[in-house]
Amino acid sequence: MADNLTQLQENIRACDKCRLCETRTHVVFGEGNPRATLLFVGEGPGEWEDKQGRPFVGKAGQLLDNMMAAIGLKREEVYIANVVKCRPPGNRDPEPDEVAACIGYLREQVRRIHPKIIVCLGRIAMREILHETAGIMRMHGKVFYRTGFYIIPTYHPSALLRNPDLKREAWSDLKTVRRILDEVNNEENTWDLPAVDGKPPKAWL
């Protein structure tokens, strides 16, 4: 599977499926453990990510590293990706046609990594992965179970940098992530989780 991921990365290195290819420096594919249990999905590369070709390496990335560390996770053990792989100019939101062109790559990543938990960082990732249009203020910290994945939306680290008051709520979300991770890691506890074959509740927190 790991090789599959590298193959995919190779395939999109020169992607020109949307206009973002004209202004990018690097395609930012994503990085981490190709067999990660936990996948973080952001929105799209910013300036530093575009320069370096790596996800979450700017200020928001430092905060994400700290957020992971707070729940005992290292960058190397998770996988980090984005909804769009090329930087939208000036860090604007990606346009719907850009997301439409790129989202297939994220789907392929999910299929190949096959994480058990997906953490959506911010509104855009939540909208594309969970198809929830309600605001992140309302949805953050809830645990969804969809087609084999636990999906947990939380605030984007950039939002936390702009509004540090939200960090308390984000911390509570992270503790939820840690708890679900411990449960999926501990087979003996799986009775605690919603049935995989039954009809799991839409949100169970």
Q: What are the residues binding ligand SF4 (CB under 6 A)?
A: 12, 15-18, 20-21, 27, 84-86, 98, 101-102
Beta carbon of residue 88, minimum distance to ligand SF4 (angstroms, whole number): 8
Stretch of 16-24, 40-48, 180-188, 189-197 contacting ligand URA, by CB under 6 A? 40-48
Comparison of 45 and 141: residue with beta carbon closer to ligand URA:
45
Instruction: Provide, rounded to whole angstroms, the least separation between the CB of residue 192 and ligand URA.
Output: 32
Q: Which residue, 44 or 122, is less far from ligand SF4 as judged by CB?
A: 44
CA distance 149 to 117: 6
Rounded distance between C-alpha atoms, residue 11 and residue 67, angstroms: 31
CA nearest to 203, candidates 151, 148, 142, 157:
142
Closest residue to ligand URA, judged by C-beta, is 42
Shortest CB 59 distance to ligand URA, Å: 9
Identify the bridge partners of residue 133 per DSSP, sorted by sequence position: none
| Closest of 83, 91, 86, 163 to residue 118, by C-alpha | 83
**Helix/strand/coil for 12:** helix
Closer of 61 and 141 to ligand URA (Cβ): 61
Residue 151 contact partner, candidates ligand URA, ligand SF4, none, CB within 5 to 8 A by sort of partner: none
Please, which residues bridge with residue 146 across strands? 149
Strands 144-146 and 149-154: antiparallel
Written as six digits, the tokens of 198 are 């039954």
Tokens of 91: 């860090």
- Residue 98 CB, nearest distance to ligand URA (Å)? 14
Q: Kind and range of the H or E element at 167? A: helix 167-185
Q: From residue 59 to residue 98, what is the string marking binding to ligand URA with x (rule CB under 6 A)?
A: -xx--------------------x----------------
* Residue 156 Ramachandran class (φ > 0 left, ψ -120 to 50 alpha, else beta): beta
Q: How many residues of this chain bind ligand URA (CB under 6 A)?
A: 12
**Residues lying near ligand URA in the complex (CB under 6 A):** 42-46, 49, 55-56, 60-61, 82, 158
